[in-house]
Amino acid sequence: MIAVIELKGKQHLVEAGQVIRTLRIDGAKGDKVEADRVLATIDNNELQLGKPELKDVKVLLEIVRQARSPKLRIFKYQSKKRTSRRYGYRDNITYLRVKQIKG
């Protein structure tokens, strides 16, 4: 079974056993998380679409680890003014393992 879920405003296409990366979700390694906003499921060529979400379907997730994403390097340069600025940014992220899709 494959499901489309929404976590932290981003959509993910998941199936059981898969590890996904998303924005930080509070919790420690091994904690259980439930994605109750399931937008669609696909099971043996049968598609269920929610309008906007499916009510009776849940996806169980487990936190694998908390980390930080690779640094994004940002460089701004203005040639006529002879100015430049360089800085970086890193997101806090969470790796989740899909344990089960109920429904």
User: What pLDDT, in 10s, does the model give residues 10-29?
Assistant: 999 999 999 999 999 999 99
Distance CA 62, CA 94 (A): 10
- Residue 26, judged by CB atoms within 10 A of its CB (0-12, 13-18, 19+), counts as exposed
CA dihedral of 8, 11, 14, 20, whole degrees rounded to 10: -50
User: What pLDDT, in 10s, does the model give residues 25-81?
Assistant: 999 999 999 997 999 999 998 999 999 999 999 999 999 999 999 999 999 999 999
Q: In this predicted structure, what is the pLDDT of residue 27? A: 94
Q: What percent of the chain is modeled with pLDDT above 70? A: 100
Q: How confident is the model at residue 103 (pLDDT cuts 50, 70, 90)?
A: confident
